[in-house]
Amino acid sequence: MELHHGNLFWPTTVEKARSFPELTTTVTCDVLIIGGGMSGSVMARMLADYHIDTVLIEKDTIASGSTSANTGLLQFSNDAMLIDLIDRFGKEKAVYFYKLCLKAIDELDKYNATLKEKTDFKRAESLYYASNEHHAKKLKKEYDALIEHGFNADYLDSTAIENLYSFKAPAGIYTKAEAEVNPYKFALALASHAADLGVNIFEHTEVLSHQFHNKELIFQTEKGEIRTKHVIYATGYGTQEFAKTKGALLERTYTIATEPIDQFPGWHNQSLIWETDRPYYYLRTTPDRRILIGGLDANLNKEEKLEQQGQQLLNKLHELFPSIETSIAFEWSAIFGSTKDGLPYIGKHPKYDGVYFMLGYGGNGTVYSMLGAEILKDLILYGHHPAMDITRLKR
């Protein structure tokens, strides 16, 4: 499965990434992580803190899959609104899950502070605006629910938005607990730090077969073998090639990065921006003063011409910010996974002991990676996490 296509931006921001050897022998460990993207790197870094004998393998190179195409918006709000989750799970579980997402951003911030490499992690503000009048009513209910349950947010009416931004919208929710990051740098730095702390990492190492026994899981690669007590599949959207997950939907999303810009008129605090439409547009700026805008999600089997989609994204950017003159520097498409209920798949395999999945499907992939690492760490060490029923595979 080709996870991305086109001219990616983030890999150009790293001159030389740390490399790791290919597995060429037999190794044993307590936990094997399959997949060296954001989820695998966060998981490895967390297990290192608990001195768990861990091996991470990646069939290509660290962060070269979906992570390199990620736009790096870190938000606690989900593709599924809090009020929708309350209807589905009840107040207690829904609010708890949103609080976990909020905490995950803080935990990512803490991890970033431990890294030697600069990852461009930065706390940010976010505007979630109503795409039309009908959505504005629901957005007001969402704001009321956030306030009722202790989340910090401001409600912006159309006048307030027009005073802060160069575009019009009937309403919006403005929050200040989010963050942005260079996901490629971040995953590379996390993996590197995990390796320094004792995690064994192998690149260009793909699982070819496996055997699940009662007390040992055995994985064969081209040149080696891994024997482990636990395995975590952090294989992202590629998981659907070998383990279909009921309720998962793969689509194709498109993104452009512009040439650097001197000023951002009509863009309050260069906040993160997204909207209530589905599919939705999402925007952010970068440390070197570019704009990233993504969207136009489409059926996986319906791949539009990249140049046409890129131009459509640029047109949307100019519609929102008519005073900003810029052009496309990078454009790419990537496979994007979502779920019917808007929540990730994180938890134990329903049949095999010691087998776990960490699939951060949805618009909050990096946040879900942090949240998922907490859940799986607790499941492995203590056999329980309060959120395990919310994110379980069979739901």
Q: What is the pLDDT along the chain (395 residues), one digit of tens a residue?
A: 789 999 999 999 999 999 999 999 999 999 999 999 999 999 999 999 999 999 999 999 999 999 999 999 999 999 999 999 999 999 999 999 999 999 999 999 999 999 999 999 999 999 999 999 999 999 999 999 999 999 999 999 999 999 999 999 999 999 999 999 999 999 999 999 999 999 999 999 999 999 998 789 999 999 999 999 999 999 986 666 555 567 778 899 999 999 999 999 999 999 999 999 999 999 999 999 999 999 999 988 777 899 999 999 999 999 999 999 999 999 999 998 888 888 999 999 999 999 999 998 888 999 999 999 999 999 999 999 999 999 999 88
Is residue 190 within 8 A of residue 42, CB to CB? The reply is yes
Q: Is the pTM of this model over 0.85?
A: yes
Residue 44 phi/psi, 5° resolution?
Answer: -65, -45
**pLDDT (0 to 100) of residue 253:** 95
Name the token pair of 23. 């597995």
Residue 244 phi/psi, 5° resolution?
Answer: -60, 135
Q: Which residue segments constitute the domains of the chain, with CATH numbers given? A: 4-70+184-247+342-382 (3.50.50.60), 121-178+248-339 (3.30.9.10)
Name the token pair of 304. 């539009």
**pLDDT (0 to 100) of residue 241:** 57
- Taking Cα atoms as reference points, which of 277, 349, 343, 232 lies closest to residue 128? 277
C-alpha to C-alpha distances, 286 to 183, 289, 341, nearest whole angstrom: 12, 5, 31
Name the token pair of 138. 């629901």
Residue 146 phi/psi, 5° resolution?
Answer: -60, -45
**pLDDT (0 to 100) of residue 337:** 84
**pLDDT (0 to 100) of residue 94:** 96
**Exposure class string for 2-18: b at 16+ Cβ within 10 A, else e:** ebbbbebbbeeebeebb
**pLDDT (0 to 100) of residue 147:** 98
- Taking Cα atoms as reference points, which of 308, 364, 296, 367 lies closest to residue 334? 296
**pLDDT (0 to 100) of residue 240:** 61
**pLDDT (0 to 100) of residue 205:** 98
**pLDDT (0 to 100) of residue 386:** 95
**pLDDT (0 to 100) of residue 303:** 73
**pLDDT (0 to 100) of residue 385:** 97
* Single-letter amino acid, residue 332: W
**pLDDT (0 to 100) of residue 342:** 84
**pLDDT (0 to 100) of residue 373:** 98
Is residue 387 within 8 A of residue 97, CB to CB? The reply is yes
